[in-house]
Amino acid sequence: MIELYHIWKQYQKPHWAIADVSLEINTGDFCFITGPSGSGKTTLLRIIFREILPTEGQILIDGVNILKIPDHKIYKLRRLMGIVFQDFRLMFHQSVFANVAISLQITGLPDKEIRRRVFNSLRQVNLHHKMWEYPSRLSYGEQQRVAIARAIVNHPKILLADEPTGNLDPELAYEIMTIFKEINDQGATVIIGSHDRELIRHFGHKIFFLQTGKIIGQEVKP
Amino acid sequence: MIFRQLKYLLQSAGHNLWNFRGRNLISVLIISFSFLVIGIFLALSNNLTYLGEQLSNNLAISFFLKQNLPAKEVEEIRQAILDSTLVDNVVYVSQSEALSRFTANFPELKEIVANLDSNPFPPSLEARLKDKSVTLAAITAFIDHIKRLPGVVDVQFNQDWVEKMESLSRIVQAIGFFLGVILILASFFIISNVVRLNVFARKNEIEIQRLVGATNTFIRIPFLVEGFVLGLAGSLLSIFILFLLIKIFPVYIGQTLGAAEQLLALRPLSLEQMIWLVVGGALTGTLGSASSVSKFLRV
């Protein structure tokens, strides 16, 4: 369970990127954070995986206050998560395989197992035939799928995705969401920042509406 | 699991060294030039130390004796000189031998000497020192000891030259040490900045590793290995260039400098000095890397 209590975030005075956001996301939820550009979706996701710290407020994940985790132990939290960044954050001088495998290399899995899981992940995003290519040779949409494969390869308990379908055509976007739904069906909590109304309408189970850093509405579908 | 990770990290370091070979080659060259300057000073200092030692060792010490000293006493003094561990051999030079040497060396003064009533040259014992490194302090102590023996009236020893050479060697060593410390510090900053540029170029990669849950150690190890390899390669290259310089340098300067060539010659580094340079290179590379990468581990 992810609980956010009165989260405030200010990058620059006097504007608040996030203003008093409190929300609860249950284990196994498939939820969207939506809102117009600049509403604070990315900031909120970055706070949840502790890339940045909130100016005020507390965040509990399964009862643990993640803001109190010392820096050198933050890797434990991150290993529970799979993250799809809006800017993909790929290592451009390494192959697609190496980019996806990094999430598993850090855990010390046997090479054979790493190869198997990386191949499966890439097959899920329909990119297994480009395993040995370099990201710079891939299209924008393909790079995005590499980022998705990396996020799902370690079977995360929490999957965070920031605009994961932003550069994909509708069919592929639908397929990617189906993959996320499969991961969700296996027990993972999925949180997606998106403004794609069509997808949200189709897949959204719990939806938080964000505007100028504030939650202005919440919808839970049965 | 640890071995698997270690294998991966070493592979990763090798991969990065190869992938960024252009940048790494420049780093190696910068490191090697820094260490080359230190090496040249060591080689110059080695040469002056060697010359000083040679000069002390090749000098003969003449102990002048009282005239008409009984043979028994001369023998006692000779024995006392020979008892010293510094002395290789002793030769007795009689008054007439001293005179004939003088006339041979200075034939133009032959007539002046011939006009004298008596032979002015005292008999002497000439001690030649053993051919090994002997300090000036040891020689001085030995001379003082012999000088006090009855029958010995004076000592001739080119102490000035030895002292000058020794102090020159000390000055060069001091300058070498002073510059060495500055150069080592400068090298450290140059190397750590070169490594920092390498690390900075890959900060994106470090950030990604942090965000997917890599530990700081996991991120750090490949960089440390790379820093170690670059430092090691740089210092080894500097030793190789120094070796070439030692071989080529005399050929170029021999003609122009004449006698000064001996002073400016480079003498090869000792094994110990080479080991220090290599260890210094590897250590500087590793520490430079460690200090640089730490700055990017706060994501």
Say what the pLDDT of residue B252 is.
Answer: 59
Please answer yes or no on whether B208 and A71 come within 8 Å at the CB atom. no
Which residue segments constitute the domains of chain A, with CATH numbers given? Answer: 1-80+157-222 (3.40.50.300), 90-155 (no CATH)
Q: Is A51 on the interface with B (CB under 8 A)?
A: yes
Residues of chain B with confidence (pLDDT) below 50: 299
Q: A164-206, pLDDT tens digit by residue?
A: 887 778 888 888 888 889 889 988 999 999 988 888 888 878 9
Identify the residue whose tokens are 């030259």: B161
B chain contacts of residue A100, beta-carbon cutoff 8 Å: none
Q: B48-65, pLDDT tens digit by residue?
A: 777 766 666 666 788 898
Exposed, middle or buried: residue B114 (CB in 10 Å: 0-12, 13-18, 19+)?
exposed
> Which of these, A24, A3, A6, lies nearest to A16 by C-alpha position?
A6
- Please report, in angstroms and rounded to a whole number, the separation of the first and last CA atoms in chain A: 18
Say what the pLDDT of residue B207 is.
Answer: 87
> Which of these, A75, A41, A47, lies nearest to A60 by C-alpha position?
A47
Please answer yes or no on whether A108 and B5 come within 8 Å at the CB atom. yes
If you ran DSSP here, which 8-state letter would residue A12 be given? B
Report CA-CA distances (Å) from B124 to A211, B121, B275.
Answer: 109, 9, 48
Q: Is A102 on the interface with B (CB under 8 A)?
A: yes
CA distance B15 to A94: 9
Say what the pLDDT of residue B169 is.
Answer: 67
CA distance B74 to A66: 95
Mean pLDDT of chain B, nearest integer: 80
Token code pair at residue A218: 């919440």
β-partners of residue B127 are B61, B90
Q: B280-295, pLDDT tens digit by residue?
A: 889 888 888 888 887 7
How far A113 CA lies from chain B's nearest CA (Å)? 12
Please answer yes or no on whether A108 and B211 come within 8 Å at the CB atom. no
Say what the pLDDT of residue A101 is.
Answer: 94
Identify the residue whose tokens are 């020893």: B157
Token code pair at residue B116: 């004298």
Say what the pLDDT of residue B128 is.
Answer: 81
Question: Across the interface, which of B15, B20, B213 has its CB nearest the CB of A106?
Answer: B213
Q: A122-144, pLDDT tens digit by residue?
A: 998 889 999 999 999 998 889 98
Say what the pLDDT of residue A65 is.
Answer: 94
**Residues B110-119: contacts with CB within 8 Å, 24+ apart?**
B119/B95
Say what the pLDDT of residue B46 is.
Answer: 80
How far B1 CA lies from chain A's nearest CA (Å)? 5
CA distance B251 to B165: 24
Give one word for A108, left, alpha or beta, with left for phi > 0 and alpha for psi -120 to 50. Answer: left
Please answer yes or no on whether B211 and A90 come within 8 Å at the CB atom. no
Question: Across the interface, which of B5, B20, B205 has its CB nearest the CB of A91?
Answer: B205
Say what the pLDDT of residue A100 is.
Answer: 96
Q: E strand or H helix at A81, and its extent? A: strand A81-84
Contact call for residues A149 and A177 (beta carbons, < 8 A)? no
Residues of chain A with confidence (pLDDT) below 50: none
Say what the pLDDT of residue B133 is.
Answer: 54
Say what the pLDDT of residue B12 is.
Answer: 80
